[in-house]
């Protein structure tokens, strides 16, 4: 009767397996039958017997499945005296199966579970009844079962796989071999071959993504139970059939944006990392630079976003990054100025002011090369930054401002009728109008000419004053002069008349020696006759001792 029950279990599972061929099952559902080599583990020596098992398997995903099974185990062998024992074991268990690499054509897995078994001792060993009396043993009953092991399935076709398993089965009973020694529990080891039936209806789309389960498994390697395998926001069918993206890669083009965001949110091309071709990846445009991934030039300044970010370091969201009034494009392409600096040459004028207002060179701090920066010319000195000599007097603006302290906006600073450049070149003072031109018949005192006492010999300290007289005569070759000598009233008139004549002639001879034509000069002494101050003090007498130039022509 016991064997009939066991056979019934087998027939039920066999019928279930056979009926698979007339039904369509999802890959979630499989049925199988397994034949096992059984090795009992108990107090007696190992022996090799057989068993079989039928099971139903359900998949929650490609990685995790559960299996409900029942079967028959021939738990038999020989005792210490080669006396045979035999027990019929019918196990029923629920197992969890983990497929670490997913459900593929070749699918290794690990399993563990729990269940119960019914045993029935059909042949009692002699060791029990003669040599080794033991405490009473239950010849039949139920106990808990814990199976664990590993296996591998090989898919032969859509609906058929073969596999092998190896496992260990632990029980909470020591009665399976009808023998006690201590209190170890009886176990068995199994290794077997199984046949697995079940597959996908070729016309079934389990996850409703627009792809058949068969195609998802065999062609696209996507999850037939998950409409969006890569979780990018697009279902697998749309990725494969509509957008041509990779349903296994959330970011097909590797631009930092999910395919779903590119298609549904930003309108970019999920197959092209740089949709607008500006040199920046779509992800960088959207997430980092906040530029428009659909526009090459977001700010419309005629520079591509990529060039602004990677080449010029300008702001792709601002037409005029430095705010100088020139667009970044004009700065880079037209004027060659820096789009990051308002004042490229650092002269104190913005690039815009130089180009559009003052017409100066924004790349050159001193456009006219006069030694003054354009900014100082415009704002401080009010000179023309395009003219080295604003007033045209022969002195450049820098020399006027920094060296001679003349007015660079006035050709004749001292107003003496001779422009500054001529005065400087001839050695006269451009800030003193008195030395500009010798007036006709007006005596001009040559202050600073000193003679030795009672002598007409010129002292060395007179050189500076004499050089000024020389330069004036050189600058005006058309004039003639009378060199007049004067004394105070000390001494006799006759002596002073003679001394003043000699001193006037000494000055004239000095100028002749320097190259002045003698025909342009006359010398005359007036002694004490023409004082310019009363001879009542030493200071006044010093004033009266003098040399004067009088223009005669």
Question: Which pLDDT does position 472 carry in this prediction?
Answer: 81
Token pair for residue 133? 């009396």
Question: Which pLDDT does position 199 carry in this prediction?
Answer: 58
CA distances from 176 to 70, 94, 169, 277, 352 (A): 18, 21, 13, 77, 102
Half-sphere exposure of 237 (CA within 13 A, CB side): 13
Question: Which pLDDT does position 432 carry in this prediction?
Answer: 85
Full pLDDT tens readout for the chain, 553 residues: 444 344 334 433 433 333 333 333 345 789 999 999 999 998 888 889 999 999 999 988 878 999 999 999 999 998 888 888 899 999 999 999 999 987 777 899 999 999 999 999 999 877 654 444 556 788 999 999 999 999 999 988 778 899 999 999 999 998 888 887 766 899 999 999 999 998 545 567 889 999 998 899 889 999 998 999 999 999 999 999 999 999 999 999 999 999 999 999 999 999 999 999 999 999 999 999 999 999 999 999 999 999 999 999 999 999 999 999 999 999 999 999 999 999 999 999 999 999 999 999 999 999 999 999 999 999 999 999 999 999 999 999 999 999 999 999 998 898 877 788 878 877 778 898 877 766 676 666 777 788 877 888 988 888 888 888 888 888 888 889 999 999 999 899 999 999 999 999 999 999 999 999 999 999 999 999 999 999 999 889 888 888 888 888 8
The three-class DSSP label of residue 6 is helix
* CATH 2.40.160.20, the chain: domain bounds: 2-197
CA end-to-end span of the chain: 164
* CATH 3.30.1330.60, the chain: domain bounds: 438-551
The CATH class of 438-551 is: alpha beta
Consecutive H or E run containing 193: strand 187-197
Question: What are φ and ψ of residue 214, in 5° steps?
Answer: -55, -45
Q: Residue 381 and residue 120: Cα distance in Å, rounded?
A: 121
Question: Which pLDDT does position 133 carry in this prediction?
Answer: 54
Question: Which pLDDT does position 454 carry in this prediction?
Answer: 82
2-197: CATH number? 2.40.160.20
User: Is 504:472 a contact under the CB 8 Å cutoff?
Assistant: no
């Amino acid at each position: 009767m016991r064997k009939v029950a066991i056979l019934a279990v087998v027939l039920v599972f066999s019928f279930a397996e056979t009926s698979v061929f007339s039904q369509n099952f999802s890959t979630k559902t499989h049925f199988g039958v397994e034949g096992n080599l059984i090795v009992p583990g108990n107090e007696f020596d190992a022996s090799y017997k057989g068993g079989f098992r039928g099971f139903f398997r359900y998949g929650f995903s490609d990685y995790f499945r559960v299996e409900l099974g029942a079967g028959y185990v021939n738990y038999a062998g020989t005792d210490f005296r080669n006396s045979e024992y035999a027990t019929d074991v019918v196990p029923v268990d629920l197992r969890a199966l983990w497929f670490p690499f997913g459900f593929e054509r070749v699918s290794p897995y690990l399993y563990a579970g729990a269940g119960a078994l019914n045993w029935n001792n059909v042949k009692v060993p002699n060791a029990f009844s003669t040599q080794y009396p033991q405490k009473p043993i239950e010849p039949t009953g139920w106990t808990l079962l814990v199976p664990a092991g590993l296996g591998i399935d090989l898919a032969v076709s859509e609906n058929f796989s073969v596999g092998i398993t190896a496992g260990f089965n632990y029980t909470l009973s020591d009665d399976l071999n009808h023998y006690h020694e201590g209190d170890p529990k009886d176990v068995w080891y199994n290794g077997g071959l199984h046949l697995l039936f079940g597959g996908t209806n070729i016309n079934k789309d389990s996850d409703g993504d627009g792809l058949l389960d068969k195609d998802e498994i065999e062609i696209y390697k996507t999850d037939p139970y998950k409409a969006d395998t890569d979780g990018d926001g697009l279902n697998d069918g749309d990725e494969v059939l509509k957008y041509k993206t990779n349903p296994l890669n959330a970011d097909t083009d590797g631009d930092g944006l999910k395919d779903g965001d590119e298609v549904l949110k930003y309108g970019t091309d999920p197959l092209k990392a740089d949709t607008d071709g500006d040199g920046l990846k779509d992800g960088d445009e959207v997430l980092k630079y906040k530029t428009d991934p659909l526009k090459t030039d977001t700010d419309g300044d005629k520079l591509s976003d990529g060039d602004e970010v990677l080449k010029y370091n300008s702001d792709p969201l601002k037409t005029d990054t430095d705010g100088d009034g020139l667009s970044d494009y004009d700065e880079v392409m037209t004027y060659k100025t820096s789009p990051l600096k308002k004042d490229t040459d650092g002269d104190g004028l913005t690039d815009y002011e130089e180009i559009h207002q003052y017409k100066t060179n924004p790349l050159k701090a001193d456009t006219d090369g006069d030694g003054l920066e354009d900014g100082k010319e415009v704002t401080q000195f009010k000179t023309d930054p395009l003219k080295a000599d604003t007033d045209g007097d022969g002195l450049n603006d820098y020399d006027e401002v920094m060296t001679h302290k003349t007015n660079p906006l006035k050709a004749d600073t001292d107003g003496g009728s001779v422009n500054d450049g001529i005065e400087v070149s001839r050695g006269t003072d451009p800030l003193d109008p008195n030395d500009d031109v010798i007036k006709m018949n007006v005596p001009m005192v040559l202050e600073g000419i000193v003679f030795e006492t009672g002598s007409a010999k010129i002292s060395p300290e007179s050189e500076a004053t004499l050089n000024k007289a020389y330069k004036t005569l050189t600058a005006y070759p058309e004039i003639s002069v009378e060199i007049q000598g004067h004394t105070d009233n000390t001494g006799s008139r006759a002596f002073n008349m003679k001394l003043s004549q000699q001193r006037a002639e000494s000055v004239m001879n000095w100028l002749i020696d320097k190259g002045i034509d003698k025909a342009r000069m006359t010398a005359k002494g007036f002694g004490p006759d023409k004082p310019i101050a009363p001879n009542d003090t030493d200071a006044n007498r010093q004033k009266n001792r003098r040399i004067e130039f009088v223009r005669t022509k």
